Amino acid sequence: MQQHNNTMTATPVIRGHIAFLAGVTWEPVSSRDRRNIKGLARRLGADHVVTYRYRDSEGQAQFVAGLVRRSTLTLPRKIKGLYSLGLLIAS
């Protein structure tokens, strides 16, 4: 997994008790790191992580992890769920 010097911030769009996050930091995940994705996210400073699996142009399974540091988000206390608003995979 690449380590970028970013703040892992996202922009929340609030709807009721749910926050949809735009601008989530997406990182490629190696097959070795998939076994302990939460530990890897913690080492990179994220406290929330989501993974997405897709097939590349050669048909091989690839994984990316969306990393968020909730403490950098200004969310109301009533928020019960965080969801990624979008993901674009382009070569």
Task: Please indicate, yes or no, if residue 3 is contained in any of the structural domains.
Answer: no
Task: Please indicate, yes or no, if residue 74 is contained in any of the structural domains.
Answer: yes
High-pLDDT (> 90) share of the chain, % = 16
Q: What is the mean pLDDT of residues 69-83?
A: 88
Task: Please indicate, yes or no, if residue 25 is contained in any of the structural domains.
Answer: yes
The tally of domains found in the chain comes to 1
pLDDT at 7: 64
How many Å apart are CA 24 and CA 50, to the nearest integer?
Answer: 10
Task: Please indicate, yes or no, if residue 6 is contained in any of the structural domains.
Answer: no
- Decide: pTM greater than 0.75: no
How many Å apart are CA 57 and CA 21, to the nearest integer?
Answer: 28
Task: Please indicate, yes or no, if residue 67 is contained in any of the structural domains.
Answer: yes
Task: Please indicate, yes or no, if residue 19 is contained in any of the structural domains.
Answer: yes
pLDDT at 89: 61
Domain of 42? 11-84
Task: Please indicate, yes or no, if residue 5 is contained in any of the structural domains.
Answer: no
Instruction: Convert the pLDDT of each residue in 8-44 to its tens digit.
Output: 778 899 999 999 998 888 888 887 888 888 888 888 8
Task: Please indicate, yes or no, if residue 90 is contained in any of the structural domains.
Answer: no
Reported confidence tier of residue 61, pLDDT bands at 50, 70, 90: confident
